[in-house]
Amino acid sequence: MSPEVITIGQPVPQFHAAAYGKASSISIDDLRGTVVVIYFYPKDDTPGCTTEGQEFTALYPEFQAAGAEILGVSRDTLASHEKFSCKFNFPFPLLADTDEALCKAFDVLKEKNNYGKVSMGVERSTFVIDREGKIAYVERKVKAAGHAAAILDIVKQLP
């Protein structure tokens, strides 16, 4: 998967990833015909990532009623995802992108500067994919608090 700018209306990049949750692995083809919310987050069990996951969890029944599935993605391992998911009872799968293939395909790896130390990290980003497998919405530099509710409003507007 080569990185490219993800734009509204383009087909979602193909992927197949290990998952903790409903299935042991998930590909985009498994979800054809379903609205999919893929949210990328930096690290399991950190404050912002926990807030975001908890808000998606609280609204999960409404996402399901709107015909949508949620997928959380980080570079953490399946073991880390299991611990994080069980601790907060996340009802949706967490994808382990340990090889960064998904992060690169969705172009969410960005240079970060933390107290003068420069490294590559995941830019908190969300992608909504329509039932036909096309990108319907993109949001980057997401602020965790309140984000799930805003995404739910977008999902409810999709045909």
154 sits in which H/E element: helix 147-157
Asked if residue 103 lies in contact with residue 97, where contact means CB atoms within 8 angstroms, the answer is: yes
Given 26, 37, 49, 155, the catalytic residue: 49
Strand bridging mode 68-74 / 35-40: parallel
Whole-number Cα distances in Å, 112 to 51, 52, 91, 101, 149: 21, 20, 30, 19, 27
DSSP character at residue 119: E
49 a catalytic residue: yes
Within 13 Å, how many C-alpha atoms sit on residue 102's CB side?
28
The Cα angle at residue 157 between residues 156 and 159, in degrees rounded to 5: 100
Give the residue numbers marked as catalytic: 49
